Structure 1
Amino acid sequence: MTEQTTTQPPTAELTPTGRRVRVLVTVAGLVLLLAGTFWGQDDDFPFGPFRMYSTAPDPNGAAKDTRVEGVDVTGAVVAITEANSGIRRAEIEGQQAAYEADPSRLSRIAAAYAEHTPGAPALREVRIVIRWHLVEHSRPTGTYTDEVVADWVKR
């Protein structure tokens, strides 16, 4: 019978400087996390809160549903989606204030729609519409109102 021995690799201890660096990095991370919790926005994630998960809507308010729609040259209303324009709804919502300030920017959505759906009739109007669904006791009532917040019409 032969006896086998295994040797463990030597463990290295941190130097005092190494310990200080690790403590400072940990403290800096905790300070950023704490500051982001109180004053941060979504763009500061992961050091800021992700507001869609850290807030609750009013149980007796209105729920916001933003959509983009176009009106083609035949008068038909067309839902503008990522599939037919290549533009995600989140991109529109993220720049909504810019579209409201300058609705002519919506012409770019009409151009993207034309590029992605070459056989479809051209759009003569593009608008951003917010549908406000009324909510009572955290339940939808089935009642809603539509608000057009930006509208571009081809001249």
Structure 2
Amino acid sequence: MDQLSVRGRRVRAVATLIAGVLLLAGTLWGTDDDFPFGPFRMYSTAPDPNGAARDTRVEGVDADGRTVAITEGNSGIRRAEIEGQQQAYVDDPARLGRVATAYEEHSPGAAPLRTVRIVVRWHGIEHARPTGKSWDEVVAEWTRP
């Protein structure tokens, strides 16, 4: 059995100490961008047990008045991309025009979209259990000029 040299033990101790300090600093002052030394908020926080849970979707209304779910399959845009930039769409709903263009490019033969909107469905929660009640909120909407 080989033994670690004195120098090797010191290097390991210093590396362990540095990793520990980074972990502690990241825990106290870090953000998601500092992961793995900062908290990954998705797993480090808990939702309000009496709040509402959000479910975001993107939908369009075509020229015939039908509501169409905008998905990665028919637009090439993942829902997470929309959710990650949701505030930018709220601030500038004209950006949703690009979603309509992506839908039309990925769905040849489909009726063109007249309107695209981001809708949040809120699900009621009480005592960490669903209440069965839900309501929709349109947070951004674009209509073709």
TM-score normalized by structure 1?
0.83
CA RMSD of aligned residues (A): 1.8
Runs of 4 or more above 4 Å deviation: 11-15, 18-21
Which structure: larger Rg? 1
Alignment partners' CA distance in 1, 2:48 and 2:81? 25
Q: Is the partner of 2:117 in helix, strand or coil?
A: strand
Structure 1 match to 2:107: 117
Structure 2 match to 1:129: 119
Alignment partners' CA distance in 2, 1:108 and 1:14? 62
Q: Compute the displacement of 1:139 (Å).
A: 1.4
Alignment partners' CA distance in 2, 1:57 and 1:33? 24
Deviates more, 1:72-81 or 1:40-49: 40-49
The answer to whether the aligner puts 1:105 opposite 2:95 as a matched pair is yes
Alignment partners' CA distance in 1, 2:80 and 2:124? 22
Q: What is the number of residues matched between the two proteins?
A: 145
Q: 1:89 aligns with which of 55, 73, 79?
A: 79
Flag structure 2 segments of 5+ consecutive residues without an equivalent. Answer: none
The answer to whether the aligner puts 1:68 opposite 2:58 as a matched pair is yes
Structure 2 match to 1:39: 29
Deviates more, 1:21-30 or 1:110-119: 21-30
Alignment partners' CA distance in 2, 1:119 and 1:43? 42
Deviates more, 1:50-59 or 1:21-30: 21-30
TM-score normalized by structure 2?
0.89
Alignment partners' CA distance in 2, 1:107 and 1:81? 15
Flag structure 1 segments of 5+ consecutive residues without an equivalent. Answer: 1-7
